[in-house]
Chain A
Amino acid sequence: MNKIVALTGNEAAAEAMRQVDPDVVPAYPITPQTELMHRFTEFVADGLVKTEMILVESEHSAMSAAVGACAAGARVMTATSANGLALMWEIVYVAASLRLPVVMTVVNRALSGPINIHCDHSDTMGCRDSGWIQLYGENPQEAYDNILQAVRIAEHPDVLLPVMPTYDGFIISHTIERLEIVEDAEARRFIGKRKPLHPLLDVAHPVTYGPLDLQDYYFEHKKQQADAMVRAKEVVRAVGREYGALTGREYGFFDAHRTGDAETVAVCLGSAAGTMKAVADTLRAEGRKVGVLKLRMFRPFPADEIAAAIGRAKRIVVLDRAEGFNAVGGPLGAEVKAALYGKSSAEVVNCIYGLGGRDLSPDLARAAFELTGAGPVHLGVRE
């Protein structure tokens, strides 16, 4: 039986964490993530979870503690945003390279500077090549669902990679919506127990974590990470299917909304998808053949599947909530373009929108469907 509740994105994420009941949570506050950990520490104080909560002195320490505890064999979760993620940087890579299945929710916020606390994807896009799996959520429901699935994906023996479920700061984190929560017992059965591969606390079998790794082995270890990321695709799909059987909400790599016969398809991540789908429905009612591909999984990047799903369109508009500063486009635009290379004759238009929390209004969303030219076009900026 699912329970229907009204929660903000942060409260929904905290609810997922309560059900996971991780062994260790090291965390440091940063807007707009703060409310998530605020809520979770209340669960700790009220004895609703058995978690060892570590209030650290910085995000660098938060991720360091997460690495240590996860290597010890604990199930570890944390959360951050923007500059907090930037301060973790060094250890974000260490978690992935030690193959530690940490789950860290990132509540998307624009990186400084100038200082800004509102949503864009510059924070998580910056670490898209750090070796973490990235799942972008559209609303509080997906914020909750992705966290439960992230634990299973990260700890799967074919994967053993950290996972970063994300959702948009304020737009999702601080907005109350209706969502369905799985019963505690069912959620815990779905999550199961972590079976660590070589935990440091198994003192009968001592192992070395993090030895010097030079010209003779480092390359092989990077290849292992890359192979695990490829294997993660099937695991993400399998876990999404199992979650669908439990909740009625099945998850895959992306959500294709009316793309079947669409001549123009918009591709986007996160909360923008809600607006884009609503505007697509309006345009459909006007007789326009438009659709929306909302990408859920950005790492690993489902290039072949994207090409198969939308390659037949005449025009593909890719919306990026992160600037590439004269790269081929924004990060999503560049990768979608690469995914379609040689497989599609569609005109691909890249558009940068919503930086620093700038609203994507229905009017702007409508304008996005009309864009032409290589871009990147900056949608909704004053010149």
Chain B
Amino acid sequence: MADEKGSRELPPGGLILEAGNAVKYLTGGWRTYRPRVDKGKCIDCLQCWLLCPDCCIDVEEGTMAGYDYDHCKGCGICAHICPVKAIEMVLETEGAGPADAKGRFGSKKKA
């Protein structure tokens, strides 16, 4: 935290002056369970994309293409809503951790 801005440099009132800045705040580290999709079962209905509160479902050409693990907090809504049970929630400590994913919290990894 020594590299962060000090009280004399920050804008007052806790304001953030840059729009669209939430993408820089990585919340993937909050996760206990990681969603993992079985594309063999997935029917690309995109209900997970509709309901994900953090916009973490990657969609490519109309198909569910995986997760943004830098921002997914592991809430499990996608797994809960999936009509064909194609998504399971896997403990981060059980083989689904950063070792099998790219990015600080596994970004861009197609699970």
Residue of A nearest to B20 (CB): A206
**Taking the complex as formed, is B55 at the interface, i.e. its CB lies under 8 A from any CB of chain A?**
no
- How does the 8 Å CB contact mask read for A190-211 relative to B, with 1 for contact and 0 for none? 0000000110000001111111
Asked if B13 and A98 sit within 8 Å, CB to CB, the answer is: yes
The answer, among A205, A221, A223, A228, for a CB contact under 8 Å with B14, is A221
Which residues of chain B are near A218, meaning CB under 8 Å? 14
Taking A206-B19, A208-B21, A216-B1 as contacts, is the C-beta distance between A97 and B14 under 8 angstroms? yes
Interface stretch among B2-10, B60-68, B71-79?
Answer: B2-10
Which residues of chain A are near B14, meaning CB under 8 Å? 97-98, 209-211, 213, 217-218, 221
Number of A-B residue pairs having CB atoms within 8 Å of each other in the complex:
55
**Taking the complex as formed, is A220 at the interface, i.e. its CB lies under 8 A from any CB of chain B?**
yes
CB proximity of B22 to chain A, nearest CB, Å: 8
**Taking the complex as formed, is A99 at the interface, i.e. its CB lies under 8 A from any CB of chain B?**
yes
Determine the distance from Cα of A198 to Cα of B17 in the docked complex, in whole angstroms: 8
Asked if A221 and B1 sit within 8 Å, CB to CB, the answer is: no
Count contacts on B: residues with CB < 8 A to the other chain.
Answer: 15
Asked if B19 and A227 sit within 8 Å, CB to CB, the answer is: no
Determine the distance from Cα of A97 to Cα of B14 in the docked complex, in whole angstroms: 8
Determine the distance from Cα of A220 to Cα of B6 in the docked complex, in whole angstroms: 6
Asked if A160 and B10 sit within 8 Å, CB to CB, the answer is: no
- How does the 8 Å CB contact mask read for B5-31 relative to A, with 1 for contact and 0 for none? 111001111111101010000000000
Highest count of chain A CB atoms <10 Å: which of B5, B11, B15 = B15
Tell me whether chain A's interface is mostly helix, strand or loop, or mixed.
loop
Which residues of chain A are near B6, meaning CB under 8 Å? 220
Asked if A224 and B15 sit within 8 Å, CB to CB, the answer is: no
- How does the 8 Å CB contact mask read for A155-168 relative to B, with 1 for contact and 0 for none? 00000100000000
CB proximity of B17 to chain A, nearest CB, Å: 5
CB proximity of B11 to chain A, nearest CB, Å: 7
The answer, among B1, B7, B11, for a CB contact under 8 Å with A198, is B11
Which residues of chain B are near A100, meaning CB under 8 Å? 13
Determine the distance from Cα of A207 to Cα of B14 in the docked complex, in whole angstroms: 11
Count contacts on A: residues with CB < 8 A to the other chain.
Answer: 25
Determine the distance from Cα of A197 to Cα of B17 in the docked complex, in whole angstroms: 11
Asked if B13 and A217 sit within 8 Å, CB to CB, the answer is: no
Determine the distance from Cα of A197 to Cα of B12 in the docked complex, in whole angstroms: 9
Asked if B12 and A220 sit within 8 Å, CB to CB, the answer is: no
- How does the 8 Å CB contact mask read for B72-110 relative to A, with 1 for contact and 0 for none? 000000000000000000000000000000000000000
The answer, among A160, A205, A215, A216, for a CB contact under 8 Å with B13, is A160
Asked if B19 and A224 sit within 8 Å, CB to CB, the answer is: no
CB proximity of B6 to chain A, nearest CB, Å: 6
- How does the 8 Å CB contact mask read for A216-237 relative to B, with 1 for contact and 0 for none? 1110110110011000000000
Which residues of chain B are near A209, meaning CB under 8 Å? 13-15
CB proximity of B24 to chain A, nearest CB, Å: 12
Taking A207-B17, A208-B21 as contacts, is the C-beta distance between A160 and B4 under 8 angstroms? no
Asked if A220 and B17 sit within 8 Å, CB to CB, the answer is: no
Asked if A223 and B7 sit within 8 Å, CB to CB, the answer is: yes
Taking A220-B5, A220-B6 as contacts, is the C-beta distance between A228 and B19 under 8 angstroms? no
Which residues of chain B are near A215, meaning CB under 8 Å? 1
CB proximity of B20 to chain A, nearest CB, Å: 8
Asked if B5 and A160 sit within 8 Å, CB to CB, the answer is: no
Asked if A208 and B16 sit within 8 Å, CB to CB, the answer is: yes
Which residues of chain A from 88 to 104 have any CB-CB distance to chain B below 8 Å in the complex?
Answer: 97-100
Instruction: List the interface of chain A (C-beta within 8 A of B).
Output: 97-100, 160, 197-198, 205-211, 213, 215-218, 220-221, 223-224, 227-228
A-B contact pairs, 12 of them (CB 8 A): A98-B14, A160-B13, A198-B15, A207-B16, A207-B17, A208-B15, A208-B19, A209-B14, A213-B14, A215-B1, A221-B10, A221-B14
